[in-house]
Amino acid sequence: MTASSASEPGIAVDLTAVVIGVENDAPQVLVVPGSTGGCAALPAGPLSTGDRTLQAGLRRWVEAQTGHRLGYVEQLYTFGDRAPRAPEAAAARTLSIAYLALTPDIGAVSGQGAAWRRWYGCFPWEDWRDGTPVGFDALVDAVTAWAADAPDSGRRERVRWTFGLDGAPWDEERALERYELLYEAGLVPEAWIDRGRAVPDDAARLPGTSMALDHRRILATAISRLRGKIKYRPVLFELLPETFTLSQLQRTAEALSGLRLHKQNFRRRVESLGLVEDTGQKATDTGGRPARLMRFRRDVVLERPAPGVRGHATRRAGFP
């Protein structure tokens, strides 16, 4: 080992979990108390030499902090630009390896301060199921004003396409791009906190609850990934109980995408792809006519390469 390499600080590895469930047609994310500032955080902890695998370490941390046992897990992204977890840490850089976990069980959690929170609390501008979200116009005004200060039109075009303005289509999969553009524009508190500066009043007044560290960015990454993935992989069924109605399936898809879907087209696609099978039973707690109970037909993953539930969005208020 050379003198220079011996003096170089090391790299710490954090394991971060985005645990998603759906309850009452609202996507929920599992959070724990943040270390500073009172902001909620995602369950996370450093990789230990005693962990057999990365996933084993992740599962250990989540269960220790929340009491929740993970089921479906997939690696989400590796973030390499985070500051050390503590100022006195020896590492010059912390790698955060994030995972997406899905659960059909939104139940009680036992960790101190652990709770389920609606993800649209952090990203209210992403939910278009009931028309233009509250506060969206103020957000667009702020980011448009920021773009107008640019010497060329490149920034204005980015805002137009990212936020679906002036005839550009709204793309629900651009949740991460929207958050990162707001961060760049200084319109989310994290942009100022990360620089060690006070949050201006105009940024503090805009909609959306901030999170500790870079955890809102990680959550935005998970939202974009999940919105895209439900169109070509059957991950949607990881969020549902063993049996469900077609209405329940559609509402779950709508909750994740933030869009209303065309009922007949949605059901036609689900049934034509053979994604579900009838259990022969009916749900009697629907408040109306009993609905058929279905189950996911797992053989479908062996029969076709992209068994997703892509649907057609209905027209939303505020967009052409």
The 10 Å Cβ neighbour count of residue 310 is 15
Q: Is 45 in the same domain as 98?
A: yes
**What is the tally of structural domains in the chain?**
3
> How does residue 319 score in pLDDT terms, banded at 50, 70 and 90?
very low
Closest CA to 220 of 168, 258, 173, 158: 173
CA–CA separation, 127 vs 228, rounded Å? 16
In the block, tokens 């990360």 appear at: 194
Q: Is 101 in the same domain as 19?
A: yes
Residue 310 is assigned to a structural domain of this protein = no
Mean per-residue pLDDT, 146-171: 92
* 318 vs 235, residue with greater confidence: 235
Q: How far is CA 234 from the centre of its chain?
A: 17
Residue 136 is assigned to a structural domain of this protein = yes
268: tokens are 């036609």
CATH of the domain at 89: 3.90.79.10
CA–CA separation, 10 vs 84, rounded Å? 11
Q: Is 34 in the same domain as 110?
A: yes
Q: Is 88 in the same domain as 28?
A: yes
316: tokens are 């939303």
The 10 Å Cβ neighbour count of residue 109 is 20
Residue 262 is assigned to a structural domain of this protein = yes
DSSP tag of 104: S
Q: Is 88 in the same domain as 148?
A: no
Per DSSP, the three-state class of 210 is coil
* 164 vs 289, residue with greater confidence: 164
> How does residue 209 score in pLDDT terms, banded at 50, 70 and 90?
very high
pLDDT digits (tens, 9 = 90+) for 224-263: 999 999 988 889 999 999 999 999 999 999 999 999 999 9
Mean per-residue pLDDT, 154-169: 95
55, pLDDT greater than 50: yes
Q: Which of 32-36, 94-98, 306-310, 315-319 has the lowest mean pLDDT?
A: 315-319
Residue 311 is assigned to a structural domain of this protein = no
CATH of the domain at 278: 1.10.10.10
Q: Is 239 in the same domain as 286?
A: yes
Residue 5 is assigned to a structural domain of this protein = no
Residue 3 is assigned to a structural domain of this protein = no
Mean per-residue pLDDT, 174-199: 94
> How does residue 313 score in pLDDT terms, banded at 50, 70 and 90?
low
Q: Determine the Cα angle at 113 with ends 109 and 114, to 5°.
A: 35
Please report the pLDDT score of residue 4 as a whole number: 42
Residue 1 is assigned to a structural domain of this protein = no
79: tokens are 């973030």
Query: Are 257 and 237 within 8 A, CB to CB?
Result: no
CA–CA separation, 51 vs 14, rounded Å? 13
271, pLDDT greater than 90: no
pLDDT digits (tens, 9 = 90+) for 62-84: 999 999 999 999 999 998 766 54
Closest CA to 82 of 197, 224, 219, 212: 212
Q: Is 113 in the same domain as 164?
A: no
Mean per-residue pLDDT, 149-167: 91
Please report the pLDDT score of residue 77 as a whole number: 93
316, pLDDT greater than 70: no
Q: Is 20 in the same domain as 112?
A: yes
The last residue of one of the domains, among 105, 120, 135, is: 120
* Residue numbers of the domain that contains 20: 10-120
Please report the pLDDT score of residue 35 as a whole number: 76
Residue 198 is assigned to a structural domain of this protein = yes
